[in-house]
Chains A and B, each alone.
Chain A
Amino acid sequence: DTGVSQNPRHKITKRGQNVTFRCDPISEHNRLYWYRQTLGQGPEFLTYFQNEAQLEKSRLLSDRFSAERPKGSFSTLEIQRTEQGDSAMYLCASSQRVGGGSDTQYFGPGTRLTVL
């Protein structure tokens, strides 16, 4: 168990460019979450997957954002036509959800996006 990994750790891009981030969850985990964290704030939920199905999306996830989890393994988060307001830390978390009740999320180190 190597934990949740995210790549790249840092990304600097120019406004209007597209960027893609990758998250590799803990291998046996069926749930994968994406969050955004800006300076001085806690993580804000963006979307989550159970296996390959995207079950919920936050209103924060505009139509420029898209996330996929093909085959229920790794996930990608793409931002098209980036804006300076997209600058943030993008966090991924995974968990193993069995039945009802809460599950413990394990977070990756994050990808810090800077849009110039």
Chain B
Amino acid sequence: AQSVTQLDSQVPVFEEAPVELRCNYSSSVSVYLFWYVQYPNQGLQLLLKYLSGSTLVESINGFEAEFNKSQTSFHLRKPSVHISDTAEYFCAVSETGGSYIPTFGRGTSLIVHP
């Protein structure tokens, strides 16, 4: 069975600073990986996903994540954050084959200070 560990429950940063949100997964088979973002009082929105091909995936708002199979990681990065990036970020993994139901991590709260 798959599992996800988000190592940081909260990450405070100053505006325009770089940030990395860490995600490690465990699975015995090939996986798909996702990052979702949840703004206050809203539902989860897909930020980016890795299905196959290039291990570096990017979102439209400047985030990127790199699939590292040897380290079983899928860390999320942004070179310069904005106040509006303040939100909860969830990493998720689903195993290829079967129902593809994702397992979510506990979430990391990104808090951007002015």
Contacts and interface: CB of A to CB of B under 8 A. Distances in A.
Interface of A: 4, 33, 40-45, 48, 55-56, 91, 93, 101-110
Contacts, number: 53
A101 B101 CA distance: 11
B43 A109 contact: yes
Interface of B: 4, 9, 32, 36, 41-46, 49, 51, 90, 92, 94, 96, 99-107
Contacts of A104: 46, 49
A109 B40 CA distance: 10
A110 B9 CA distance: 22
A44 B32 CA distance: 17
Nearest to A103: B100
Q: Which 5 pairs between the two chains have the least Cβ-Cβ distance?
A: A42-B104, A107-B43, A107-B44, A102-B32, A109-B43
Nearest to B98: A56
B107 A40 contact: yes
Contacts of A103: 100
Given A103-B100, A109-B43, 11 more contacts: A42-B4, A45-B102, A91-B44, A93-B44, A102-B96, A102-B100, A104-B49, A105-B46, A105-B102, A106-B46, A107-B43
A23 to B, nearest CB: 11
B104 A43 contact: yes
A40 B106 contact: yes
Given A40-B9, A56-B99, A102 B43 contact: no
A102 B94 contact: yes
Contact of B107 (A42, A91, A105): A42
A103 B90 CA distance: 17
Contacts of B107: 40-42
